[in-house]
Structure 1
Amino acid sequence: MSSFAFSGLNLALATPFDDAGRVDFPRLEANIERYLDAGIRGFVLSSGTGMHVYMSPEEAQAVIARGAKVINGRARVIAQTSALMAEDVVARTRRAADAGADGVMVLPPFFEGPTDDDGIVDFYAEVAGAGLPVIGYNVPHAVGVEITPALFQRLAQIPGFASVKDSSGDLAAQAALIRTGLPVMNGADPLVPYALLAGASGLIWGGANFAPRTCLAVVKAAGEGRWADARRIWADLEPVMSLIWEGNYVQTVYAAAALTGYAAGTPRKPLRALAADRIAALHAALGPLREIEAAL
């Protein structure tokens, strides 16, 4: 994975909010420092887990700028710059570049956007012209656009198009993307070790917010070909990574992070704090992970 610019674990950082629902910048800075201390060397700022769609463009830019300033070259920075209009994506991408981002993650056009391959290629070509490496985002159940292997091969011909993050949750579909020989990033938490075995070049991982050291350990073991160790470590992660994928993803990640000492407050409206029955299920799924994480 070392030859790929965004290899290894890239943490899709949960954006902290205070009790009034405002971005909590002091906590953002403190959490970044804690994750750096844990060994995280890649961050995705204003990610889906970080509630990109529920922040104004100005707030998202402030999170990216403040985060990049705190990181200050100690880790790579990927900024999500998705928006409905291509012109807005380009503008956001240029501002991310000015802030020091190393790359951007961008959803394909959504909400009545083009679904044909030519339209998708034109869109990403325009975004790539803004000057930062672009990571496409394959999440067809959310945006109605699927990045197929054939489309991926066309996108890879765009100068500056770096990779696709696959959050489809379909391992067979992701393996088909990997078989193109192009770098694919896994974005589905329950598939991490299987995606690495299939040849994924990197990870964008929201669940790592609440167990960064354990997540890094499984990635390190896999990267070194120690698959028995990777499977053993994954056994402690798997129950909760499966749980968060079942629904209420963002709320569950925020709640789990609070339980393991990486609190980011409460998700912003319209999302609500996790319901009591889900909290109980989360406690059960975490099992010994809190103690394991603290001991690493």
Structure 2
Amino acid sequence: MKDFSFTGINLAISTPFDENGKPDHGRLEQLIERYLAAGIRGFVLSSGTGMHVYLSQEESKALVAFGAKVINGRARIIAQTSALLVDDVVERTRHAADSGAGAVMVLPPFFEGPTDDDGVFEFYGAVARAGLPIIGYNVPQAVGVEITPPLLRRLHEIPEFLAVKDSSGDLSKQAALVRTGLPMMNGADPLMPYAMYAGVRGLIWGGANFAPKTCTQFVTAAQEHRWDDAREIWRVLEPAMSLIWEGDYVQSVYAAAEMTGYGAGNPRRPLARLSAKKADALRSALGDLVEREKLAV
């Protein structure tokens, strides 16, 4: 079994933007420090929740380098290095390694890329040239390529292929991936308790941006098999974690984080602020989380 060191929460941290829509490194540093103080010990830089697809290659690389410098060994670092061109993925991955990332998260080929297992295998084999552990990203509803249990077993023949993050949101399919016995990470917010009970090895969690203390408490209880405690904490988290999954995910995370005091500003265009109607529904779903995040230690 390959060494897996990304247990617990790996926060898919939102990218802060300034009033001109540019990445705000100063605000990012403040957020990282607050999340570290809240107990977060793993970060995903340039994540999907961090609007990776709406960052230029240079912006993404600068974000990874700056974030890693701020973290400075105090937490695990995963960098997303997904791109359309394989050579770009390899270049971004080498840059992530040079910056201090411990692994990279990479989407399979997308936008008219190969969808057969051979093509996906060859793609990840090419990315492996960069020499950094790879976390595959299973989100078939977005990219049209699914990492199935047989493909996952094959991908683990690549020495650098470490695990897969499943964001399909399909519990039965995720359970089938878990049953392979290979390292699995859950990326679907509403499935967190079920995934942990099923035996996922780690979590990549966007919703933890707006409730890092409560999410950390929940994960600690689940890891210690204090399931009654975990269930009670999940009852507080579940309304918001389910609501954000229903649509406008990134905008909802940014809005919820503003409400609970971990604001990263507005999402970058073409995404807009959450509508007033949806913001009201989100505020209601957060319930006691706003006060809980202020008081939790």
Q: TM-score, normalised by structure 1?
A: 0.99
Aligned to 2:122: 122
Q: 1:280-291, aligned counterparts within 5 Å?
A: 280-291=280-291
Q: Deviations over 1:229-255 (max 9, x none)?
A: 000000000000000000000000000
Aligned to 1:98: 98
Q: 1:14-53, aligned counterparts within 5 Å?
A: 14-53=14-53
Number of residues of Structure 1 aligned to a counterpart in Structure 2 = 294
Aligned to 1:13: 13
Cα distance in 2 between the residues matched to 1:157 and 1:213: 37
Three-state SS of the structure 2 residue aligned to 1:129 is: helix
Letter aligned with residue 241 of structure 1: M
| CA RMSD, 1 decimal | 0.6
Q: CA deviation at 1:4?
A: 2.5
Three-state SS of the structure 1 residue aligned to 2:130 is: coil
Q: 1:249-268, aligned counterparts within 5 Å?
A: 249-268=249-268
Cα distance in 2 between the residues matched to 1:54 and 1:122: 26
Aligned to 2:179: 179
Letter aligned with residue 85 of structure 2: M
Aligned to 1:136: 136
Q: 1:1-296, aligned counterparts within 5 Å?
A: 4-296=4-296
Three-state SS of the structure 1 residue aligned to 2:203 is: strand
Q: CA deviation at 1:293?
A: 1.5
Q: Deviations over 1:18-61 (max 9, x none)?
A: 11101111000010000011110000000000000000000000
Give percent identity, aligned residues only: 69
Unpaired segments of 5 or more residues in structure 2? Answer: none
Cα distance in 2 between the residues matched to 1:66 and 1:4: 25
Q: Deviations over 1:195-222 (max 9, x none)?
A: 0000000000000000001001110000
Letter aligned with residue 231 of structure 1: R
Unpaired segments of 5 or more residues in structure 1? Answer: none
Please identify runs of 4+ aligned residues in structure 1 that moved more than 3 A.
none
Q: TM-score, normalised by structure 2?
A: 0.98
